[in-house]
Structure 1
Amino acid sequence: DNCRCAQCVNQDTLQRNFDTFAIPKDISPTEISAKAEGVDILWSDSHRSHYTWSWLRSNVQSTQPKELLNQESLWGAAISSAPPEVDFENVMSSGSSTGMAELTSKIRQYGFCFVVNSPKTPEDTEKLLESIGPIRNTHYGGFYDFIPDLALADTAYTNLALPAHTDTTYFTEPAGLQAFHLLSHTPPTNKPASEVLGGQSLLVDGFYAAETLRRESPEDFEILRSVKLPWHASGNQGVAIAPDMAYPVIEVSGDKLHRIRWNNDDRGVVPLDVDVDAWYEAARKWNAILKRKDHEYWFQLEPGRVLIFDNWRVLHGRSAFEGLRRICGAYISRDDFVSRWKLTNFPREDVIASNMQLR
């Protein structure tokens, strides 16, 4: 079933070329030959297979699948002294993938990264994001370039303050990456450009907040991990989106944090078949942690400095602002981002071996 020969596997797509269930049920090896480059096996149905030593090491040597690791660094307000960043030209270099490897690795490690010295145009911003992966289309469209005119029924399209939240909680698979590039901020006619206009951006490491909650109040962590909630998007005519099922605020895989899903404005009704008072108490504690000064990273978006962050981990918000801000950006699916990270940071052979053993 795992033969890698050209007859069994399409060498262009690496997909199987045969019917697994046509293989005789009682098949067995009749001849095994170890050679310098790998192992040859003659099967009882006369088929010959060849397995390279590298393939065998990746797939057979251990019962544990090969894992591609990236060090995860939790952070709080102190990250303001040295936020992760890469240069636009390095990322977009056609002669090297080093810049893209650095960008995706920093997003994996910190949950966000700035791309500095970016051209101050929506066209170049779109090219940057498409170099990571295809832009994801939603009911808001694809690549966005907007001013706060409430053209779409969402508070993001206003000049109001927004608390820390993740986007698209109402999708079965929330957006993986999100990007913002402030192209301009024009003051109102009655104010000089030198005056502070507001609109500071906020990032909170949701994994750091979740670990804080788990350490300080394990019972509340368990409630937000176990109680599944409805989420919805219902503000636009002709749109009433909800995920395939209810999801908790904190998702884990084993003990490892997997995803944060939190936008209180998009939350439905807490189910009445759980301890509702206990859920609200846990949510109150969670909300308080998100608002701690040592968990909040505040900064000002600037033209030429593109922010890209992991929407499964990092919550974002902003302060209210005056004037007219023009911002562009997009969503990118999680799978496309992870694929780019893997292929720019690890050998392709290791990536494929890891993917084929994913658990």
Structure 2
Amino acid sequence: MFVIRRIRSAKFTAIPKLSRHIHSHSVLLKQSEHLNIDIKGHSLKFPFVWLRDNCQCEECFHKSAKSRILDWSNFDVNVQPIDVTREGNSIRVSWTDGHQSSYNIEWLKFRSFTPENQRKYSDTIYKPKKVTWHGKDFQKVFTKHDYNEILRSDEALYNWLHNFSVYGVALIQNAPHSETAVDQIVEKIGFTKRTHYGVKFVVQHVPNTSNVAYLSSNLQMHTDLPYYEYCPGTNLLHCLVQTASDGGENLLSDCHHVARYMKENCPEEYTLLTETEVEWSDVGVEHGNEFFKLYRSPVICLDSHGAIIRINFSIPQRGSHFPGPIEKVVPWYKAHSLFLNLNHQFSAKFKTQPGDILAFDNIRLLHGRNAYEDDTNNVRKIIGAYLDWDEIYSRLRCLKVKLRNEEGIC
């Protein structure tokens, strides 16, 4: 084994014994902030402060709540190990604060700080890596899943949610002719995102409506509810009745593909759409409830790494107040027009049939609908529900642990 001891000079040094799993590189540990561990041929480093903060003993971590209970009011960020030993499949550490910790080898390996491991964790546990698509490739990425299989099989549920999260769109087929059919799908995941349109909503032709989505005329490409700061992440549309007339097809476009194209080919317009705040609004009455919603955000929202986290786009719901400087108005409108034109150019067309539930990412895809005829003998009726990505990713992780568990995840 490998033992670390304090010596008279008040420095820490490593004294090697027989071990293939813990070693140092002849450095003074007082000058280091990491513990070097060799795990199955991989040399891994773990910061002392991280190790102490993540002690898994019952004094520091509540097992059933899976939560840290370490008292941080007395925590020493400069804590150092004074003794490290290997015991079977665990590493045992004695600390300068008098505490002792034990770490499972696989638990440590799963949380290693190597770039390769962190990428793997991000793409498999945190969120599946997205794959962008052009409309011409839509049928290659548009996976189809059976309603009853999803309800009775965790494997089928996982496959649907995984494909949905990767491509931003997926289809459920053979749903029953019931206005509550989509509820059973939602309940397999979590719960709906309620908005001022209710727990669910009905999309059909309604004269004198307060929402243009309820008309049978052409519905321009958009994201739903961009005026919500906590915008619904996904949209589930269950086709109960489809128009027999020409039209009524859904238009779908992957904005991540469009944004990447703009970043490479139209960088100035891309920058305008990522940096210029726009005011999104909705004013009206629904179910007797008055609302006046306002939210400001760019069309393309980026995280601190420059990755897209949200798309906002809706011509009807874009407010008339432009919060930016007047000099940006004309350039922004040109960039906005280019963005819409590219989405049309790269879009796919798909007409759902009764029993289909079309699921799509509401903060990634633009969606629209072609005009259709509506009369007493030819109607179209869709039942819609919103579901947040938080619930989907949570269910995916639970299913992954259950179906494809890797040692050390929990």
SS across alignment from 1:233: strand
Compute the displacement of 1:345 (Å). 3.8
What corresponds to 1:86 in structure 2? 145
Q: What are structure 1's unaligned runs of at least 5 residues?
A: 187-194, 354-359
Check if 1:177 corresponds to 2:229. Answer: no
Q: Which residue of 2 aligns with 1:317?
A: 368
* Residue among 295, 298, 301 paired with 2:349: 298
Q: Which amino acid aligns with 2:170?
A: C
Q: Distance in 2 between matches of 1:151 and 1:171?
A: 24
> For residues 61-118 of structure 1, what are the alpha-carbon distances to aligned partners after superposition, in whole Å with 9 as ceiling and x for unaligned?
436743224343322332454421111222112xx42111111111122110001122
State whether structure 2 residue 331 is matched by structure 1 residue 278. Answer: yes
Change (3 A) 1:27 1:151: farther
SS at match of 2:188: helix
**Is 1:67 matched up with 2:122?**
yes
Deviation at 1:311, TM superposition (A): 0.7
Paired residues in the alignment total 339
Task: Structure 2: state its 5+ residue gaps.
Answer: 1-52
Report the equivalent of 2:259: 210
100-109 or 28-37, which deviates more = 28-37
CA distance in structure 2 between the aligned counterparts of 1:280 and 1:75, rounded to whole angstroms = 25
Q: 1:151, 1:157 within 8 Å by CA — same for their partners in 2?
A: no
Provide the C-alpha distance between the structure 2 equivalents of 1:24 and 1:214, rounded to a whole number of angstroms.
45
Q: For 1:250, which of 279, 282, 300 is the aligned residue?
A: 300
Q: Which has the larger radius of gyration?
A: 2
Q: TM-score, normalised by structure 1?
A: 0.86
| Counterpart among 210, 213, 238 of residue 156 in structure 1 | 213
SS in 1 for 2:309: strand
Q: Find the partner of 1:53 among 96, 105, 124.
A: 105
- Give the whole-Å Cα distance in 2 for the aligned partners of 1:153 and 1:352: 49
Question: Which position in structure 2 is the counterpart of 1:356?
Answer: none
Question: Does 1 or 2 have the higher relative contact order (CA < 8 Å, sep 6+)?
Answer: 1
Shift of 1:17: 2.2
C-alpha distance in 2 between matches for 1:181 and 1:54:
44
* Alignment-derived partner of residue 10 in structure 1: 62
Q: Which stretch of structure 1 is more off in the superposition, 301-310 or 120-129?
A: 120-129
Q: Which amino acid aligns with 1:75?
A: W
1:182–1:25 CA distance, 2 compared to 1 (3 A):
closer
Question: 1:127-142 residue pairs with structure 2 within 5 A?
Answer: 127-142=184-199
Greater Cα shift, 220-229 or 24-33? 24-33
SS at match of 1:215: helix
Is 1:30 paired with 2:79? no
Looking at structure 2, the residues matched to 316 and 27 of structure 1 have their Cα atoms a distance apart, in angstroms, of 54
Alignment-derived partner of residue 191 in structure 1: none
CA distance in 2, matches of 1:185, 1:304: 10
Query: Cα–Cα, structure 1 residues 61 and 297, in superposed 2: closer, same or farther, change >3 Å?
Result: closer
CA contact (8 A) 2:242 2:354 kept: no
Percent identity (aligned): 26
Residues in 2 aligned to 1:30 and 1:134: alpha-carbon distance in whole angstroms: 49
Partner of 2:9 in structure 1?
none
Distance 2:316 2:332 in 1: 16
Q: CA deviation at 1:248?
A: 0.7
CA distance in 2, matches of 1:297, 1:350: 41
1:39 equivalent in structure 2: 91
Relative to its length, the structure with more strand (as a share) is 2
Taking a change above 3 Å as real, the CA distance of residues 198 and 265 of structure 1, as seen in their structure-2 partners, is: same
Question: What is the alpha-carbon distance in structure 2 between the residues aligned to residue 57 and residue 81 of structure 1?
Answer: 39
Q: 2-side partners of 1:310 and 1:250: how far apart?
A: 15
